[in-house]
Amino acid sequence: MLGTHFPPPAITTSLDSFALGWLYPYAMHWKAPVTLATLFLLFVARVNPEKSAADAKPAAWFKWAVVAHNVVLAAFSAWMHVAMVGGLVANLRAHGWYSGICDLKLTMWNDTLFRVSFYFYLSKYYEFVDTLIILYKGRRVSVLQAYHHAGAVLTMWAGCYYMAVPIAFFVIANSAIHAWMYVFYALTTCGIRPPGKRLLTSSQIFQFLFGISCCLFYTFCPGCQTDHQKIAIYINLAYLFPLLGLFVSFFAKTYLRRPAAAAADPASKKDLAAFHSSGAQRVAQRVNHYAVLGVAPGATASEIKSAFYRCSMQWHPDRNPGADDAHRQFLKISEAYSVLGNEQKRHAYDRALRIRTASSGYGGARHSTAFSSSGEYSSVRRPPSTGYQRPEGTYARYTSPGQRPRSNFAEWERQHYWATKERAEGIRRDAQRSRATSRYTDLQISVVQFWELVVVFGVVFGAAWSLSGLVRPERSRTPQPRSSAPP
């Protein structure tokens, strides 16, 4: 059974004076956030898929439901931001910097903060819908997502329950970021790709640093918060430090460790993986994409693009109605440009093409691989040499004069497959070197991030310590009478 908690006598705001005030006694009891946050985490752990499903297709109505959800949260966050900023500014003008920031007389709590912080606390329960949307799409909920939403409920409850003033700055920063974020999500759901995704993540990280600095300021500022209020500050600090680490890790994984080629290449990872797996088969089909476009293997990207435009205009089915060969040639041109126009695919194709060329033909040096004008491989057999030439360092036996020598299989294998084995070995060495370099780079990034966080926390701690010494209550200059010594 849920308990009840009523506001302390210092709060003069009536619960009947604002909407949903009747819910305050039940929502502010400690059982409400602990129970609902625990149930949320258990539900996510139970239904969370092992990996995201790429082929999941939600219903048609779901798109507009998500848009409406994002628009509602964006408008609500903007309203919270404006209301909280107005209340803070009014309190500073009326009571000065020290009394206004520390809210010693609880004027801001009775005027704006009590109502706005309670609404913002309730909105954290509604933000559980964000996680339900991810699950309905068939995607996996990350640890960052689950920790962020469950922890936000507990920290907002602590700020409202203990009436800590730093919760006002948390509402201001978080509502501004959320207004921007939900507008971004609404546009993305509608098919619009606005810029600034990386800046949005950076702003969220800055928000946590700002919140940590505010908590440290109120912790060290003498006489600004009571021991009762500092309990909420400690709870928020315990929540913000791991959350900051998770967001920094997400930022590094998403924006810093992505290869430059993959960032500039619009092709999906699934498409590239499928091409790499079938690259050898494409070469084995004996189709030369360079010959299809009429360019040399060393052609630049602009030359390949120009050749594609020229060939596609020449062989387009609309310009050759009823011509089946034109349609087939146009498909070859499109396939050739889809490979050669992509840097990663072209690199894999060239590598497979070199291996295929080196190992093609029967007899190694007696065969040469050439390309016809239609883009097909043509294997031309060279005339056999007169007599058998024994390679240096090998042993070949003759049965009798005038008869063909016995086959030297080891030498034949070396002549035919040495280039292929060398290339395969080179590819393996390059892959090992690349993995080692990647691990070393990841280690460097982790070390740099660790020291960046140390520096940032040091600066924030120092700033909070310095400001706590500057913002002090004014002391009376009237000398206090000394107590007389006992006789």
Judged by DSSP in three states, 11 sits in coil
Judged by DSSP in three states, 378 sits in strand
Task: Give dist(CA 101, CA 165) in Å, integer.
Answer: 8
Tokens 């309190």: give the residue: 91
Confidence band (pLDDT; 50, 70, 90) for 320?
confident
For residues 55-74, average pLDDT: 88
How is the chain split into domains, by residue range?
A: 15-256, 267-380, 417-448
pTM of the model: 0.58
- Confidence at residue 300, expressed as pLDDT on a 0 to 100 scale: 86
Task: Give dist(CA 246, CA 457) in Å, integer.
Answer: 16
Task: Give dist(CA 216, CA 218) in Å, integer.
Answer: 6
* Most confident of the following: 359-373, 443-457, 466-480: 443-457
Task: Give dist(CA 20, CA 2) in Å, integer.
Answer: 17
- Decide if pLDDT at 181 tops 90: yes
What are the Cα distances from residue 294, in Å, to 126, 272, 309, 318, 335?
A: 60, 25, 12, 21, 14
Tokens 């660790």: give the residue: 450
The answer regarding whether domain 267-380 maps to CATH 1.10.287.110 reads yes
pLDDT, tens only, 82-130: 999 999 999 898 888 888 888 888 888 888 899 999 999 999 999 999 9
